[in-house]
Amino acid sequence: MKKIELEIVALSHSITQTQSYAVVLGEINGLRRLPIVIGGSEAQAIAVALERMSPSRPLTHDLMKNFMMAFSVGLHEIVINDLQEGIFYSKLVCNSENDTVEIDSRTSDALALAVRFGCPIYTYDKILDQAGVMMDNDLNPGQEITENLSTQNINDSDNLRGMSLEDLNKLLADVLEQEDYIKAISIRDEIKSRGKN
């Protein structure tokens, strides 16, 4: 079967499930998108890596990467290789000097590691046919089918807009200390937007 390369195009609150998030993968050079529901901690692990944040202590996926690197094991690619009863199955394709090994993984963990290693993400046509959605050809490449990376609801966004820059910087320091990196992204984006104006 031919593998299709994907990239992470969005991360947002899941509209269908509370306390869950959706990571949206997009077909490279194509219009199909693959939304996958993941848990909050996994969403945070992906967001931290996407935004290149540096937690004060290594998160679980950072530890896993450090462990693999210490023993000269690389992550060559991840493959979302099955979909059963709404659950995606993935494998990590790891390589060392002498061997290549495929390891079963939850898709959310595989994505968190893929972002850290900068390795490609693949799936197959049958999975995109089953669970993918087609984007409208008229959309610009930057437009996505979900909310932006911010996980705050409209009221929280309005609250951030009403805060002074000094208060936003204090709040950012507080949420980073609490290791709430998803909320930190929203605050940082609000601070950045004011710098553009």
Statement to judge: residues 122 and 189 lie in one domain: no
CB 143, CB 43: distance < 8 Å: no
Parallel, antiparallel or unpaired: strands 121-124 and 74-84: parallel
Beta strands in the chain (DSSP E): 3-13, 20-27, 32-39, 74-84, 87-95, 100-106, 121-124, 133-134
In a domain, 173, yes or no: yes
| Confidence class for position 7, pLDDT limits 50, 70, 90 | very high
Q: How many domains does the chain have?
A: 2
Statement to judge: residues 168 and 88 lie in one domain: no
Statement to judge: residues 34 and 110 lie in one domain: yes
> What is the per-residue pLDDT for 19?
66
- pTM tops 0.75, yes or no: no
**Residue recorded with tokens 């493959």:** 79
Q: What is the mean pLDDT of residues 160-178?
A: 81
Which residues form the domain of 166? Answer: 154-196
